[in-house]
Amino acid sequence: MDREWFSSQIDTTFDVDPGDGGSSVPLTLVEVTEGQTGTRFRRFSVLFHGPADRALGQGTYTFGHATLDSFAIFIVPVVGSNAERILYEACFSQPVESPARP
């Protein structure tokens, strides 16, 4: 999964396992933001909207999707949540591939 992969999933909903035996929590991917990229790492973050009545704490959760394999990511509730929705962010840092040497 990289920034381009997440960008192709904007406005789709993921079913997140809350880990407590309860029903999944729907989170909609709403934004992918490019972070500062250095010579060794490429950084980006993704932002999800979730229902205000089903809060998830900071932690690693299994995300499912109707057309994708499930995967686990660490999410954090962030400032900007309100009575209508809770915002969650996941941040990524991936190594930049070095050009092949002749």
**Do the domain assignments include residue 101?**
no
pLDDT number for residue 28: 97
**Do the domain assignments include residue 10?**
yes
CA distance 44 to 94: 9
Task: Identify which of 55, 15, 14, 47 has the alpha carbon closest to the alpha carbon of residue 30.
Answer: 47
CA distance 65 to 34: 23
**Do the domain assignments include residue 100?**
no
Query: Does position 23 have pLDDT exceeding 80, yes or no?
Result: yes
pLDDT digits 0-9 by tens, 36-81: 766 788 889 999 999 999 999 999 999 998 878 899 999 999 988 8
CA distance 102 to 99: 9
pLDDT digits 0-9 by tens, 80-96: 888 899 999 999 988 87
Give the number of domains in the chain. 1
Domain range holding 21? Answer: 3-95
Q: Could you tell me the sign of the dihedral formed by the alpha carbons of 18, 91, 50, 82, in that order? A: positive
**Do the domain assignments include residue 7?**
yes
